[in-house]
Structure 1
């Protein structure tokens, strides 16, 4: 892919993130666009999204320029899914970084995880520091981490979003039958709250005995991680249970 296309791609991502955040983007719309012209220009995609109903206009057009917004929650989900797919591509292209994060989890290297994870956040999120609800942000961070961890073959990765309440956010069973990893995530509004949120996550792991399933599985070499996110930053702490 050439640099012009890459630049267009970055801009398009940015605009899609703006739409997800509830903002409008201004675009010139061509209603006379034929199907085979779509590939001619990245700008043509906006006309297609508008004419197919994926975007609706806000107010009146000004000289063919429309303020476009996402019409409803169902379609918003489609756009969120697109952002997730872009993220999965970023993950696939950063094998070395993925290995460092997974190895970091195995070896209790909180600083390594924090550094590498921050890099991913920088590449993937500009949206979720705006209007998204806290639960929605936590789900998004959760998905990012799951996307990274599930890339590591041979590990059992369990997520409480699949298992219901009473479980840690993420439970890992590495190849080593003695090892177990528990991860609890928090989203905070201010960078000053990162440390406290990490401690809160660790307390939750201990208070609710999230290690029970791992110990029943004969895994007694357990590492607990509290990870707090604030927009593009994160803090990672680890404790041996």
Structure 2
């Protein structure tokens, strides 16, 4: 919806509070339509009904920019509150600092299933862009000073590292290279290629030159739909 597209559902024309207690998604969307938060997309609705004469689905979209901004703000608030709860963002970052790729992979898979739709990644832009933004969103919820020198598309060595950051006192550094592919593809070689890119393009050079940095971990994170695989290599 926030991308300007439509969704379809079965309209409940006799809404009441008892209906809402059943937590049926169709009732939720019907409520938003009845209260003016959504408007009917008649062109898409006619198409749905012409394709299936027995269908009683209705297509809706956001009516204006004001409501679109409201949707976006509430989605962002929910995302942020989720990661700030129990310091989840800090825990992921800390796992990256110590090379615990299994924990990072497990947590990211959980969050991808919760927050990401396959449709979100079905854009003309490179798939990596979406997941890059997703990870940036995670790390922006870390506690103050938990991460330092956080960079996105950081010029390092012979290229640009997707994401880099250090611990509070710069003794630990993390380099993340992101790859993405279509659903069902093998993620193992993709994550390994990401690690190789970090090494071949010398992304770690700025960190190796800093005497305060005692450990450097490189991560290749390969994404596919709601799945991911995290490869890790200690460079120092």
Q: Is the 8 A contact 1:21 1:130 kept in 2?
A: no
Which residue of 2 is the match for residue 153 of structure 1?
A: 144
Deviation at 1:206, TM superposition (A): 1.2
Deviation at 1:237, TM superposition (A): 1.0
Confirm whether residue 92 of structure 1 aligns to residue 84 of structure 2.
Answer: yes
Which residue of 2 is the match for residue 221 of structure 1?
A: 215
Deviation at 1:179, TM superposition (A): 1.8
Distance in 2 between residues matched to 1:213 and 1:50, nearest whole Å: 50
SS of aligned partner of 1:224? strand
Which residue of 2 is the match for residue 11 of structure 1?
A: none
Distance in 1 between residues matched to 2:43 and 2:207, nearest whole Å: 52
Confirm whether residue 239 of structure 1 aligns to residue 222 of structure 2.
Answer: no
Distance in 2 between residues matched to 1:224 and 1:207, nearest whole Å: 12
Deviation at 1:71, TM superposition (A): 9.1
Which residue of 2 is the match for residue 101 of structure 1?
A: 92
Q: TM-score scaled by structure 2?
A: 0.69
Q: 1:139 to 1:82 in 2, by over 3 A?
A: farther
Q: How many residues align?
A: 207
Residue segments in structure 1 that go unaligned for 5+ positions in a row: 1-15, 31-40
Which residue of 1 is the match for residue 101 of structure 2?
A: 110
Distance in 2 between residues matched to 1:65 and 1:128, nearest whole Å: 20
Q: 1:198 to 1:83 in 2, by over 3 A?
A: same
Q: TM-score scaled by structure 1?
A: 0.68
Q: 1:45 to 1:211 in 2, by over 3 A?
A: same
Q: Deviations over 1:144-195 (max 9, x none)?
A: 22222231432122111x8799321100111243321100111121444210
Q: 1:223 to 1:104 in 2, by over 3 A?
A: same
Residue segments in structure 2 that go unaligned for 5+ positions in a row: 14-27, 50-55
Cα RMSD for the two superposed structures: 3.9
Q: Deviations over 1:184-218 (max 9, x none)?
A: 11112144421011111111111221113323443
Q: 1:123 to 1:106 in 2, by over 3 A?
A: same
SS of aligned partner of 1:238? strand
Q: Counterparts of 1:6-85 in structure 2 under 5 Å?
A: 16=1, 20=3, 22=5, 24-26=7-9, 43-46=30-33, 48-50=36-38, 56-59=41-44, 66-69=58-61, 83-85=75-77
Larger proportion of helix: 1
